[in-house]
């Protein structure tokens, strides 16, 4: 799974992300430097005007039918293999796809009985577009727009840290993924591990993660997502 995100150079990332993802607007007030489930995340989607927009989305998908927001602690990742089956993700996969826009993501690995954060990024240094889904929850006067990150099996680099990794989309695949008219069956081929040769991993900056620890998920054996 992916349990944290990272935004480097926060002061200028709004402009950089806007240019890189070709969105209509810049994001003036970016979320915090480190992002964990239930925080706000930069998110790109196609809106009614047909253009890409850069928004703040609650990371942890809250389906429209949920009783409350607590489900978000268990829905910040969505397994690519079951997107067409799970009630929480089936409809968003069909109609509401987007991209989480970060500069890297973080995984923890236990070493000497301590959880050590590692930062994964692209060797090119470019921002990363992660495959995401979104939904809207709540009454019109207090709606929450939320998202999840799609995961797949790990590549040769990530496998030493977790048994899953986020789906990283190549820029040439963004239009297809964001197209609300695209058929989900045609998109499954995009949900594969990113080449390990094009990624790097290094120790995360300890100052950024002093208070950010690996997420421990609540146990919900009877709840199917």
Residue 214 placed within a domain: no
> Whole-angstrom Cα distance, residue 62 to residue 172?
29
Residue 225 placed within a domain: no
Phi, psi (degrees; rounded to nearest 5) at 159: -60, -25
CATH of the domain at 132: 3.90.1680.10
Phi, psi (degrees; rounded to nearest 5) at 11: -60, -30
pLDDT of residue 222: 28
Q: Number of folded domains in the chain?
A: 1
Q: Which long-range contacts (CB under 8 A, 24 or more apart) does 187-191 make?
A: 187/97, 188/80, 190/131, 191/80, 191/83, 191/131, 191/150, 191/152, 191/167
Q: For the sheet containing 104-111, what is the strand order?
A: 34-35, 4-6, 104-111, 114-122, 199-203
With 0-12 / 13-18 / 19 or more C-beta atoms within 10 angstroms meaning exposed / middle / buried, residue 8 is middle
Residue 85 placed within a domain: yes
Could you tell me where the DSSP H helices lie in the chain? Answer: 10-21, 87-95, 174-178, 184-187
pTM (predicted TM-score):
0.88
Residue 73 placed within a domain: yes
Phi, psi (degrees; rounded to nearest 5) at 24: -65, -40
User: Quick one: DSSP state of residue 69?
Assistant: G
Residue 36 placed within a domain: yes
Residue 223 placed within a domain: no
Q: Which domain holds residue 172?
A: 4-208
pLDDT of residue 6: 57
Averages of pLDDT over each 10 residues, the chain, 225 residues? 58 65 70 78 92 92 92 93 95 96 89 88 92 94 94 97 95 96 93 97 74 41 31
Residue 222 placed within a domain: no
Residues near 62 by beta carbon (within 8 Å), at least 6 away in sequence: 69, 71, 72, 75, 135, 137, 144, 146
> Whole-angstrom Cα distance, residue 4 to residue 65?
26
Residue 224 placed within a domain: no
């Amino acid at each position: 799974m992916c349990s944290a995100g990272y935004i480097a150079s926060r002061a200028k990332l709004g402009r950089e992300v806007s240019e890189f993802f070709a969105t209509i607007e810049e994001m003036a007030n970016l979320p915090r430097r480190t992002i964990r489930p239930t925080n706000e995340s930069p998110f790109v989607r196609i809106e009614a005007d047909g253009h890409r927009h850069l928004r703040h989305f609650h990371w942890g998908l809250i389906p429209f039918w949920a009783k409350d927001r607590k489900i978000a602690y268990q829905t910040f990742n969505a397994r690519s293999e079951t997107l067409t089956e799970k009630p929480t993700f089936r409809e968003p996969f069909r109609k509401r796809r987007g991209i989480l826009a970060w500069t890297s993501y973080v995984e923890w690995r236990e070493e000497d009985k301590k959880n050590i954060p590692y930062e994964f990024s692209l060797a090119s240094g470019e921002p990363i577009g992660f495959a995401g889904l979104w939904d809207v929850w709540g009454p019109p006067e207090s709606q929450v727009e939320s998202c999840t990150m799609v995961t797949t099996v790990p590549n040769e680099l990530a496998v030493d840290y977790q048994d899953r990794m986020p789906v990283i989309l190549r820029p040439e695949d963004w239009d297809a993924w964001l197209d609300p008219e695209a058929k989900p069956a045609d998109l499954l081929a995009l949900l594969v591990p990113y080449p390990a040769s094009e990624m790097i991993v290094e120790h995360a900056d300890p100052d950024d993660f002093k208070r950010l620890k690996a997420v421990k998920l609540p146990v919900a054996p009877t709840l199917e997502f």
